[in-house]
Structure 1
Amino acid sequence: MTTSTITHAPLKSLPADMELVLKVIPMPADTNSNGDIFGGWVMAQVDLAGSVLPARYTAGRMATVAVNEFIFKQPVKVGDILSFYAAVTRVGRTSITVKVEVFAERIRQQGEYVKVTEATLTYVAIDDNGRPRALPAQE
């Protein structure tokens, strides 16, 4: 059995059907033992980015209740400019599901983007006791 390297052609544009919710540059302190950015750091940033759109619906406290899917497609390097795009995919009675896609603009390839991560997360509106509550009516 042979292994092959998956190559992804750089993109020249970013998603027009999603909203830019976060931009960040990972630093050397965020690396793992291989010198790439630690996956847990990326996951934390995705959770922050994913919470931006649900906050508009919850009008109060919310919590991450599920990471439905998380795919690391390419390594993230120190100095990459990461752009986090999000879109709401489902609104329930108490919860909101969000798709997050992360694109890296490599420090030596400005103007070209590579999708490095994609994830789907679910957030739930909670009351002061941490129990699920209904989402406010949307206008």
Structure 2
Amino acid sequence: MTDRIPILRVTPGPGDINANGHIFGGWVLAQMDIAAGIVASRRANGSVATVAIERMEFIAPIELRDLISVYAQVERVGRTSMAIRIEVIAERDRGQTQIKVTEGLFTFVALDEAHHPRPVDAA
């Protein structure tokens, strides 16, 4: 994990806690979508939209004091869409412990000015 650069790093706040004392799954999902959108937009060289979450797995809970790093990379490119693989690592104990907390595969479509699908490689 040390040779990769995260797309996003963030610490959840007290308002992001669910009834179990862990971070809401929806909050984590939003962070993943933001990071994947950055990667997809760069690859498409323009606007993109999330169209599907093909797979998402919560592996371990995120705790309040965790610093999460969201890693995202293009897994495959179609004519108008891209699959982005996302992995979230939580750092605990002042960075002494790293735990993979979730992963997923999100699909984005490249958009033109009218918000219609366009070829990924057309700028």
Deviations 1:42-64 (A, max 9, x none): 00000001112111122222100
Greater mean deviation of Cα atoms: 78-87 or 108-117: 108-117
Q: 1:48 aligns with which of 2, 12, 34?
A: 34
Aligned length: 123
Mapped partners of 1:35, 1:110: distance in 2? 21
> Post-superposition shift, 1:137?
5.1
> Post-superposition shift, 1:19?
4.3
Instruction: Indicate the residue corresponding to 2:69 in structure 1.
Output: 83
Instruction: Indicate the residue corresponding to 1:112 in structure 2.
Output: 97
Mapped partners of 1:51, 1:19: distance in 2? 16
Matched, 1:93 2:79: yes
Mapped partners of 1:110, 1:96: distance in 2? 32
Task: Please identify runs of 4+ aligned residues in structure 1 that moved more than 4 A.
Answer: none
Larger Rg: 1
TM-score by length of structure 1 reads 0.82
> Post-superposition shift, 1:75?
0.3
Instruction: Indicate the residue corresponding to 2:115 in structure 1.
Output: 130
CA gap 1:86/1:19 in 2 versus in 1, 3 angstroms: farther
User: Cα RMSD between the aligned structures?
Assistant: 1.7
Unaligned runs of 5+ in 2: none
